[in-house]
Amino acid sequence: MIMNTLNVLQTELGNLGYSAEVMIRDYTFADVLSPRGEARQVALAVFTQVPESYRGLSQTREVCTSTAHWARP
């Protein structure tokens, strides 16, 4: 079910004007707020620019497959 949701979300974000290159599936990042900087992964991250950076992370919330929380940039 999550993949269907991701497909719909990615399609709708494209309809809003986000290009395919700023929507990254299975995005891995360093959790700079954790004590050891563990690598985390989200199913879909959307950025406002390429190359991606924390500053360019869109206000669109990430859809997480492993946890049910909303991450904020």
Write down the mean pLDDT value for the chain: 75
Average pLDDT over residues 21-37: 88
Q: What is the helix (H) or strand (E) element at residue 11, kind and residue range?
A: helix 2-15
Query: Is the model's pTM score more than 0.75?
Result: no
CA distance 6 to 66: 14
Task: Spell out where the chain has E strands.
Answer: 23-30, 39-46
Which amino acid, one-letter code, is at 7? N
Lowest mean pLDDT among 4-8, 17-21, 55-59: 55-59
Structural contact between residues 2 and 43, judged by C-beta atoms closer than 8 angstroms? yes
